[in-house]
Structure 1
Amino acid sequence: MNQVLVAVIDGTRARFLTLEQAELPEYESGPNLVEHKSLFNPVKELQGKELWANVKSGRNQGLSGQAHAYDDGRQQHVTEFERRFAQVIGNEILNFTQGKRIQRLLLIAEPHILGVVREVVTPLLPKNLQIQDLAKDLSKFKLKEIYEYLASKSLLPIRKQASG
């Protein structure tokens, strides 16, 4: 069977799963997804003053009492935080592809994060790695639910039920 790595990502977490055959196919259903590692983006967990000196963005009050808007550059910082997290994800995927002889990568992420991850990760990966992606947030799904969803989209083979 092809060695498959499934990376399920949202803005705060990346889960790394592989597709494994059942040890005793006569008695166990399979193949199954097995989670090997989870990474967390600590910046996304920070709130308000832990991350920014001023909690409210883009507003200032003049002497006359009228507020006026301005761009304080927070979105640029958030984008940079996302790129750094994507870089960490890319390095982890690279480690998996080398250590487990991964031949196929499924990148599953919410649409915005998928774009960032694609941009950062793709240049790091071996050219012979087959990459497929899906813009869907499955990060909070259980392993069996992820498997069933990906199988329904023909991204993973249908699970064979145990005959016993």
Structure 2
Amino acid sequence: MKQTCLIVADGARARLFVVAPAQGARRGIRLIERAALVNGEVKSHGRSGSGAVKSERNTNRQAGPVHPIEAQRDRHRVEHERRFGAEIVKRASELTNDWDEGVVVLIAEPRLLGLVRERLRKALRPSLRLEELAKDYSSYSKLALERLVASRRLVQ
């Protein structure tokens, strides 16, 4: 089995695993978690200090309606995701730095995949192959990810 790094991420969190053969009577693979990252900026979006979800409407009748600045908010969110993507790339590069050959499998929501793809390619050694899957499986348990990777044959 080639050395394999599995990255499962969305805009709010990322987990990095190395893949090892299953032990004992169990066949297949097992995932060993090497890092878990949380994007604190994205996690706090849309929450007030009390934990209640903020709305676009101002409930104070005397204050008038809230001025929409959606484009600025989107740019702000993308910038936070870009920074988080840079942290994912840094961790993946550190994890695979001493590998002579192997595979890095990046499973991420499409938007984050677009932000991370080229940075990760440039950061990895040329002898490492990058494979991608544009899906959001970040909420899956380790066992569910092991089954998914085996069923989709993402690891050889």
| TM-score, length of structure 2 as denominator length | 0.79
Is 1:42 matched up with 2:43? no
Report the secondary structure of 1:73's partner residue: helix
In 2, are the aligned partners of 1:22 and 1:28 still within 8 Å (CA)? yes
Consecutive unaligned residues in structure 1, runs of 5 or more? 60-64, 158-164
Cα 1:110–1:67 shift into 2, 3 Å: closer
Q: What are the residue-to-residue correspondences of 1:118-133 with 2, within 5 Å?
A: 118-133=117-132
CA contact (8 A) 2:97 2:125 kept: no
- Residue in structure 2 matched with residue 13 of structure 1 by the alignment: 13
Q: Tell me how large the CA RMSD over aligned residues is.
A: 2.6
Q: How many residues are paired up?
A: 145
SS in 1 for 2:37: strand
Q: Return the alpha-carbon distance in structure 1 between the equivalents of residues 140 and 67 of structure 2.
A: 43
**Code of the aligned partner of 2:89:** G
Q: CA deviation at 1:49?
A: 5.2
Q: Which has the larger radius of gyration?
A: 1
Partner Cα distance (1:86, 1:120) in 2? 8
Runs ≥4 residues deviating over 3 A: 27-30, 47-50, 65-72, 99-102
Residue of structure 1 equivalent to 2:135:
136
Gaps of 5+ in 2: 59-63
How has the CA–CA distance of structure 1 residues 131 and 152 changed in structure 2, closer, same or farther, with 3 Å as cutoff? same
Percentage of identical aligned residues: 31
